A and B are shown apart, each in its own frame.
Chain A
Amino acid sequence: MIAPAALLVLAIILPAAGVVLALAAGGRGAERVAMAVIAGGAAIALAIAGTLWSTGAPLSYIIGGWAPPLGIALRADGLSAFMLLTSALVIGAIGLFARATYVQPAGTPERRAPLVFWIMLMGVWTGLNAVWLAGDLFSLYVALELLTFSAVPLVSLEGKPETLAAALRYMLFALIGSILYLLGCALLYGGYGTLDIVLLSRLARPEPVVFVALALMTAGLAAKTALFPLHLWLPPAHAGAPAAASALLSALVVKGSFILMVRLWFDSLPGIAGDGAAQFMAALGSAAIIVGSVLALRQERLKLMIAYSTVAQIGYLFFLFPLAGAAGDWERLAWTGGIMQLVAHAVAKAAMFMAAGLIGEALGHDRIAGFAGLGRALPVVMFAFGLAGMSLMGLPPSGGFVAKAMLLTASIGEGQWWWAVVIMIGGLLAAGYMFRVLTPALAGGAAPVILAARISRPRQAIVLGLAICALLLGLMPLRPSALLEVGRTTQAAEVR
């Protein structure tokens, strides 16, 4: 039996070992390595979440026995558990979905794309798990870089000129973001002599060096999260990548830098930023919701529409800053609502990008104007697409409904009704761009749709399964989650 705290190390080591093994195993073995890592990673995520659930206390592991500030700690709180489970579920579905695309049958010459895909998939997972578990800001920087370096090649997996350009633009945005973050780390270390999250939360005071560091780091992370107006790199990168990679990028990779921002604002420097800054972040989020949704409405291609919808849905996450900042019942509700929005969007968007990939494969194009009657030709895929869309619109019962309802209730409860207005407008606009696709597809056209390729049943089943998961998240009760509070209240108590 492994000690529960050692699971935190395993969660990072396992996918990292998978990267090395896949490189050694070559094109044909990489897929098998990835499948083993997916099974093992899911078991580790469940074990960590189970431990947190049964004990109700956070886990921590001091690497090498060297305690912070000199050493490095890994910590798992309720947020880590949520994110570990979400990434295990989404990466598992993406891995099973991608097996059909990135297969290397015996007797055929090896292609490079499958090997790169499986290695980068596990690389992204290593980076994500490290972001969920790292206990200090510098380890988070390294984790974030690992995530970026694994995500960028996924964009240009097919090697087409426009995807290479999209990957390069993504890379430049990500680079400027990470260097600004590192500069903030330097300033914080200069001020307090530690980057450990818990130690920093005790030492940090509202003074100029902290304000500058927080501003630099937040700006850098916002560029990586594609917060409006730094979202320009996202649509071409996410829409140009192959379906499985788009799902991974849109569902999980942008959430990594967002969680880092949460760790910074809520855990490392609690109460430093002040209400004005929090309102400003949520205002940018609101602009993202409106602009992203309107641009999604105007797209002619399905994948670009879904990518702009990601820009919009990311905006909701930023309501966390003004709504969940203080300690109180409404704030706890907003905290659960904000994180649920993250989880629900991850699951629904992964399902939606994979459905779009199947539609593109079946039709040979993804122009929304050519979708008339698609519901009859691809009933399961369109059904899955619609279910995932319910979550984006926030229709009950879906994960998106639960999340948006909690954020809406909390914003009214805290007397910040203006965010409630934005949430409702965002829901209407999301319904607009979803029905633009669903209405012609389900109403049926004059001529039957001719499919360019057949889609196998298991792949349709994976997409449908993930879309149903997005729906099942809606069965969650509309109150603060006990698991998500693990480690949060104690930390807040320590600070005060």
Chain B
Amino acid sequence: MTPATLYGLCSAVLVGAGLYGALVNPQPLRKILALNLLGSGTFLLFGVIARRGAAAGLGGDPVPQAMVITGIVVAFSATALAVALLLRVYQETGRTTLEQPAPKDVV
């Protein structure tokens, strides 16, 4: 087994675990954490692809690395925004769950 295959399998496990967690957990905070796990698996996959040097047959490909850096920035901002929203929900209602299906009053 080459290192690239090993890391590829690790990324598949992370993606699987993250997706399972995001779909099964009803708690928003756990969903956010699971989505981060899913994101990490995706970034690792980019790393594996960079190592394979898909673009020009070189030892490594810099383009996926650039994408991962952008992806990490985006994932970081997304997590910050989601956690901030969750904190506001907690401050306003004292709950950290989303059981209400629809708003009671929309005007």
Contact = CB atoms under 8 A, between A and B. Distances in A.
A159 B88 contact: yes
Interface stretch (A82-90, A175-183, A281-289, A467-475): A175-183
Contact of A171 (B38, B82, B104): B82
Given A190-B45, A240-B106, A301-B106, A165 B82 contact: no
Interface string B17-33: 01000100000100110
B42 A169 contact: no
Given A162-B104, A167-B85, A168-B98, A182 B92 contact: no
A458 interface: no
A4 interface: no
A162 B49 contact: no
Interface in A193-244: 193-194, 232, 235-236, 239-240
A182 B67 CA distance: 10
B13 interface: no
Contacts of B81: 149, 152-153, 171
A152 B82 CA distance: 10
A179 B54 contact: no
B6 interface: no
Contact of B22 (A153, A176, A232, A360): A176
B46 A186 contact: yes
A163 B82 contact: no
Given A145-B74, A149-B78, A149-B81, A166 B103 contact: yes
A479 interface: no
B10 interface: no
A70 interface: yes
Interface in A65-101: 69-70
Interface in B1-53: 15, 18, 22, 28, 31-32, 35, 38-39, 41-42, 45-46, 48-49, 52
B22 A190 contact: no
A179 B38 CA distance: 7
B82 A162 contact: no
B85 A183 contact: no
Interface of B: 15, 18, 22, 28, 31-32, 35, 38-39, 41-42, 45-46, 48-49, 52, 54-56, 61, 63-64, 67, 70-71, 74-75, 77-78, 81-82, 85-86, 88-89, 92-93, 98, 100-107
Given A168-B85, A186-B49, 4 more contacts: A161-B92, A183-B41, A366-B106, A366-B107
16 contacts: A69-B55, A70-B55, A141-B74, A164-B89, A165-B93, A166-B103, A171-B82, A172-B22, A175-B32, A179-B35, A186-B46, A193-B54, A193-B61, A194-B55, A239-B103, A304-B102
